[in-house]
Amino acid sequence: MHKWISFPHKEGICSKQAHADFPDEAIYEREAGRSGFFGPASHFHHRHAPTGWSEWEGDLKPRAFNLNNVDEALQPSPWDVPSLLHNSDCKIRIWKLNASMTHLVRNSDGDELLFIHQGTAELFCDYGHMTVKEGDYVMIPRSTNWRIETQEPLFILMIENTDAAYALPEKGMVGNHAVFDPAVLDVPKIDDQFKAQYSEVATQVHVKRHEKVSIISFPFNPLDAIGWHGDLAVVRVNWRDIRPLMSHRYHLPPSAHTTFVGQGFVICTFVPRPIESDPGALKVPFYHNNDDYDEVLFYHAGDFFSRDNIEAGMVTFHPAGFTHGPHPKAFKAGREHKKKFTDEVAVMIDTRHALQFSEHAQQVENPQYVYSWQETK
């Protein structure tokens, strides 16, 4: 495999290369790109911020949702909580659990990825037992039986890969051990805690298929495996195990932070890192049109350096087909290079097909978010 040498066209006053050494006449760079930062792209230099709109009419707009306020999220089963954003490839839910589950669940529609936003628990599944805690991604293959025993109340971001499997991204020339080494992936164990829950007690399994739930009753606990072997299992990785790709001279696109690849979408993780130090390098996310992907960002922890008035547990949505980027104060701080290090942790879901919003999401929407790029006088 090789990449042919190409010579992109240049017109007017522009920088020598993307995201660095902007001309004095126009400090605002905008990238118009296809295929989620992997396809052809052009970089414009503007006299005004591309997000400097004064009014907005219509539905194709940036949105923000405070998922802390989703009342329907507190349920005894993940199948009882509503989808908030969804398309044919994925479903995004929030699940809050204050007490241990009394039954098993199984998703026969697709793989489930749990991101533990808050809390600690014991997960029991077909493959064994593992402790899960704040900051963990837990990938559960479709048709796996599982349940949770809470140690602390849980707040979980759930991302269903509908009728498909999760995979790791191709890491190209940086190698298989970059970003996170697969050696850090943890799997459940058939340990003493797992063996202690063997029982002849009647147990129900709530199975979801085509968004309908069937209940299967057993006169025993189906989590009774004494062993297994293979390369299909529940796997876990914590965001603290992620070592992000960095360049002191170039602001890397979100695709460099890809953690999981789904069917028609990717999941990226933004973790603390040094901010670019080269004088000519861009210090904040660049203004861009991601013209093929909707972008969803779940804010987990820290100071979200490109956003104003965003708190942990909130979600922002930026649809394909319009320009977005840092808020004015963040852009100004980036120009002045006031911060040397980011301390944010966030989960991004980029979807190839348009996402729809449920009424439950709309109930916790901040309708003023679209105007948050306006500079205060």
The catalytic position among 129, 251, 327, 360 is: 251
74-81+90-239 matches 28-65+241-371 in CATH topology: yes
Average pLDDT over residues 22-28: 68
Annotated binding residues for homogentisate, as ranges?
Answer: 324
5: confidence class by pLDDT, cuts 50, 70, 90: confident
Task: Write the pLDDT tens digit of every residue in 248-272.
Answer: 888 787 788 999 999 999 999 999 9
Mean pLDDT of the chain: 88
217: confidence class by pLDDT, cuts 50, 70, 90: very high
Annotated binding residues for Fe cation, as ranges?
Answer: 288, 294, 324
User: CA 230 to CA 252: how far, in whole Å?
Assistant: 36
308: confidence class by pLDDT, cuts 50, 70, 90: low
Higher pLDDT among residues 276 and 153, named by residue? 153
User: CA 98 to CA 105: how far, in whole Å?
Assistant: 17
CATH architecture of the domain with residue range 28-65+241-371: Sandwich (2.60)
Higher pLDDT among residues 336 and 62, named by residue? 62
Of 373, 273, 280, the closest CA to residue 335 belongs to 280
Of 161, 346, 135, 105, the closest CA to residue 236 belongs to 135
Q: Could you give the percent of the chain with pLDDT greater than 90?
A: 59
pLDDT of residue 24: 67
User: CA 336 to CA 320: how far, in whole Å?
Assistant: 30
Class of residue 65 by CB neighbours under 10 A (exposed 0-12, middle 13-18, buried 19+): buried
pLDDT at 23 over 70: no
Task: Write the pLDDT tens digit of every residue in 266-302.
Answer: 999 999 998 888 887 776 777 777 778 899 999 999 8
Angle at 259 between CA 332 and CA 284, to 5 degrees: 5
In the three-class reduction of DSSP (H, G, I as helix; E, B as strand; rest coil), residue 193 is classed as helix
Question: Any catalytic annotation for residue 19?
Answer: no
Domain ranges across the chain: 28-65+241-371, 74-81+90-239
pLDDT of residue 215: 98
Q: Could you give the percent of the chain with pLDDT greater than 70?
A: 90
Average pLDDT over residues 154-176: 92
pLDDT at 16 over 70: no
pLDDT at 376 over 70: no
Superfamily the domain 74-81+90-239 falls into: Jelly Rolls (2.60.120.10)
pLDDT of residue 355: 95
Annotated binding residues, as ranges?
Answer: 288, 294, 324
